[in-house]
Amino acid sequence: MSIAEAESIYTRASRFELESDWNNAFKLYLQAADAFLHISRTADPKYRNNAAKAVDRAEKIKQHKNLNPLSIDHFSHQLSILKKSSIINDNHIPLVTSSPSVSYTGPFNDPDGQPSLGSVSPSSTWKRPNCASSSLSLLPSDIIQNIVNDCSVCASIAVCIQHNLRFKSNLLLSSLSSSNDGRYELKVLVNGDFRRIVIDDRLPFDSNNKLVGISTGAKNQLWPSFVEKAYMKLMGGYDFLGSNSAIDLHVLTGWIPEYIDLQSASFERERTWSRIITGFSRGDCMMTVGTNDKTALHYNIHNVKLLPSHDYAVTDIKEMNDERWVTLLDSRICDSECECGGSGSCPRVLDIRWEDICATFEGLYISWNPSLFGSSITFHGSWQLENAEDLPRAATHHLRLNYQKTNDPAHQKDPSGPNTNTTETDNNNTNGKEAEIWILLTRHLRDTRHTNEYIALNVQEDDMVLGDPEHVALKSNYTNSTHLLSRIKTSQFQTHTSGSLSLLACYDGQFDQVRFTVTAFACSSDVAVSWDTRVPPARYMQKIEGVLSHKTAGGNCTHPTYMVNPQYHLRVHNTTSTSIDKRPSTSTSDKRNKTPVILTAQSTRDISLNVTAVWSQGERISELSQKEVVAHSGPYTYGHARITAHLAPGDYTVILSAYEPDQTGKFTLKVESPSRFEIKTIPQEGAGMYVKTVRGEWDSTTAVGGPSQNQYHRNPMYEVTISCDSEFGARLQLLTRAPGVSTNLSLFPSNLQRCIASSGPYSDALSGVDIPKRSITPGKYYLVPSTYHAGVHAPFRIVVYSSVSGIEVVLRS
């Protein structure tokens, strides 16, 4: 865009502003800002000031005028997203639907050059090999990994060969094509769609004229080497950083990747075995297993030790004599070249019990046949960070997925392979059953050398009833993998024929406009999935920046410091009148007078967040009572938390917390609603007042209990001296957790005749007990902390607040 065009947009925006057409003025000021920013990057940096001026005008209009929300149709840019994702590691990887390469009359030489060998084999030479190859079929054990660190690729090719032999499939071979001029094309699924990788027929050889990469021994078949070369071109060279077979097979075959952490506390050994032996025997899945860099090398079989950070192909799964066995293949070549021809005596073939697999290996990488799923839908989008301050935080994109029972017997399949159920009857029946939906989030590749990009996925069922144990809520921690799979069991089919899921795709990294793909699969063939394209933007939105510091990070509600977490007074206005209910309706089913409110918290990926909204009059909450909670974001999740709730008009307290008090850092809280609302920070207890803290202890002489014990006067007594009229408050807290210990704090005049202020009935609240802020006249007073029962030996602290300085608090001897 030219400078004249940008200035024209700004002039039109000014004209609309003078005419009080706030919506058009706001929209054009933003367009002008984008145009001036683009010009400042490409032509003249001075136009950055013009961009800032346009943004300033837009912000002033946004703050003071009632604007219609700007609606962005993300579903209209799908092809554009895919085309923009065609540059990977500086190579153009076009869509399969794009025009094919031009033909050459002579031998084809890849215009992109050869994939980098890096330090793998610097003395290697590229040459065209002898194309004569054996007519014998390849066996998985024919795949030999040489010096290239691509064990996951070798294992992927090996399991594809095994699948081809056993089920007469044509995996990989059907994706590789060649022409007489020496050009090869590999069809891959990458960055959201199928694409073409073009290479020539030259391969790297070492000084002994042996292949540097994958070889097939005496059978001398070269197609695995060409698959490897194409994949290495995609991944940036033969010295690529490594992968896992589920990711590799997703690219090479389009099969759905699933990673199972065998060492996780949530790993289900028996259910996983049932799933994989059923899927493997039907040809519905392929598998590899992997070790990590800390895997002990003690486990060995046939005198072969397991290698750290290594992938092993799974070539068979079987049950024999009440024992469960998994056959593994190590594609790495032996010290002396192994020509075992697939015989059982090959030292690279290992038969290991399933129990040993679970105990020894780090992860199980499963690839599922996508044809198992009756319905699937895909969305391509981009994460765009709002400004430079947001760079260390997560960017999110929200989608809503609808699912519906179709009752179409013409499309019935048997999807029982990937389901967690073990019987065909259960798998195909959604009448009164849960339907399983898989959500695959894929981050698009730009530079595979970057390892500091992270993704996460948050899935929850819309319109869920608070506290309902059947509702769907599944969250993932951030991972630097490019793929993240969530398997969701929905409960709506127990009472309804349709429902919807709220998806939050998250990114944490240093790059702007990172693209991604979300694919949803319905395991049951009588369930259809679709995107809800009618989600309107919120009419009202407010964003609050905050910091969890050592003073405001109180941790979760099991910590006595929970009360110091950032809290906000949210007032939701009535959509039909100006009156505000003192107490919002507790009915979860009546939405006639309720309005949807979305609360989204974001921070860095190392802070686990939760957002909770409770009924209140907008006051600070010191102790969380479950019966007062109206909505919460569920389990703590690293980097983000989100609530979608229907709230009645009234006042609420919103509490943002990290799981542990030592998790500190910046955060953003965003509130969105189609109805008007107000939100403001609730000051900390004693904010703006002078604070005095004293520590004490109930010991063998002072642990005398409450007044009913008839020795109340022997409790610790603190003399408080007030020099002038003041606002006064105090809080008593135990310094160590003592379950079941109830405490009280009371204030007496100097004659100790009558209590003039108290924390109320004895309470075992984790946050302690407090004397609410009140006016007090000058003089001497006594603070008495006590426990209900005698004999409680425990340390405590008393925090005294005063609106004037110089207050004295001294333990009376």
Q: How far is CA 351 from the centre of its chain?
A: 36
Highest mean pLDDT among 341-355, 525-539, 632-646: 632-646
344: confidence class by pLDDT, cuts 50, 70, 90: very low
Question: How many C-beta atoms surround the C-beta of residue 607 within 10 A?
Answer: 24
Q: Which pLDDT does position 413 carry in this prediction?
A: 46
Over residues 122-140, the mean pLDDT reads 80
Over residues 433-437, the mean pLDDT reads 70
pLDDT at 588 over 50: no
Average pLDDT, the chain: 86
Q: Which pLDDT does position 75 carry in this prediction?
A: 82
In three-state secondary structure terms, 76 is helix
Per-residue pLDDT tens over the stretch 27-46: 898 889 888 887 877 777 78
In three-state secondary structure terms, 245 is helix
Write the CA distances from 535 to 399, 450, 632, integer angstroms: 8, 34, 22
Return the percentage of the chain with pLDDT > 70, whole number. 85
53 burial (CB, 10 Å; 0-12 / 13-18 / 19+) is: middle
| Domains observed in the chain | 3-64 (1.20.58.80), 88-241 (no CATH), 257-368 (3.90.70.10), 373-531 (2.60.120.380), 540-681 (2.60.120.380), 690-811 (2.60.120.380)
Q: Which amino acid belongs to residue 651?
A: D
Q: Which pLDDT does position 133 carry in this prediction?
A: 59
User: 223-234 and 245-253 are packed helices; what angle lies between their axes, rounded to 10 degrees?
Assistant: 100
The rounded distance, in Å, linking the Cα atoms of 251 and 258 is 13
Highest mean pLDDT among 124-138, 234-248, 462-476: 234-248
235: left (phi over 0), alpha (psi -120 to 50) or beta: alpha
Over residues 765-773, the mean pLDDT reads 94
In three-state secondary structure terms, 549 is coil
411: confidence class by pLDDT, cuts 50, 70, 90: very low
Per-residue pLDDT tens over the stretch 722-765: 999 999 999 999 998 888 899 999 999 998 889 999 999 999 99
The tokens describing 506, both together, are 């998250």
Q: Which long-range contacts (CB under 8 A, 24 or more apart) does 409-412 make?
A: 409/526, 411/374, 411/525, 411/526, 412/525, 412/526
Q: Which pLDDT does position 630 carry in this prediction?
A: 93
| Range name among 560-564, 640-644, 754-758 with the lowest pLDDT average | 640-644
457: confidence class by pLDDT, cuts 50, 70, 90: very high
Per the CB < 8 A criterion, the answer to whether 252 and 231 are in contact is yes
Q: Which pLDDT does position 586 carry in this prediction?
A: 45
Question: Dihedral sign, CA of 114, 119, 122, 125?
Answer: negative
Q: Which amino acid belongs to residue 769?
A: V
656: confidence class by pLDDT, cuts 50, 70, 90: very high
pLDDT at 65 over 70: no
Q: Which pLDDT does position 284 carry in this prediction?
A: 97
Per-residue pLDDT tens over the stretch 83-103: 999 999 999 999 998 776 666
Over residues 324-331, the mean pLDDT reads 95
| Range name among 445-449, 498-502, 801-805 with the lowest pLDDT average | 498-502
Per the CB < 8 A criterion, the answer to whether 503 and 518 are in contact is yes
Q: Which pLDDT does position 576 carry in this prediction?
A: 58
Question: Dihedral sign, CA of 94, 95, 96, 99?
Answer: negative
Backbone angles phi, psi at 226, to 5 degrees: -75, -35
Q: Which residues contact 496 (CB under 8 A, 6 or more apart)?
A: none
Per the CB < 8 A criterion, the answer to whether 204 and 117 are in contact is yes
User: In terms of DSSP H, where are the helices of 19-111?
Assistant: 22-42, 48-64, 78-84
The rounded distance, in Å, linking the Cα atoms of 95 and 194 is 6
Write the CA distances from 436 to 270, 483, 526, integer angstroms: 19, 19, 12
Q: Which amino acid belongs to residue 610?
A: N
Per-residue pLDDT tens over the stretch 473-507: 677 888 999 999 999 887 655 566 788 898 999 99
Per the CB < 8 A criterion, the answer to whether 594 and 646 are in contact is yes
pLDDT at 633 over 70: yes
Over residues 570-597, the mean pLDDT reads 65
Q: Which residues contact 349 (CB under 8 A, 6 or more apart)?
A: 141, 315, 327, 328, 329, 330, 340, 342
pLDDT at 62 over 60: yes
DSSP letter, residue 682 = P
Q: Which pLDDT does position 426 carry in this prediction?
A: 38
Q: How far is CA 450 from the centre of its chain?
A: 19
Per-residue pLDDT tens over the stretch 227-259: 999 999 999 999 888 889 999 999 999 999 999
Over residues 206-231, the mean pLDDT reads 93
Q: Which pLDDT does position 267 carry in this prediction?
A: 95
The rounded distance, in Å, linking the Cα atoms of 253 and 688 is 64
| Nearest-5° Cα angle at 666, 660 to 672 | 100
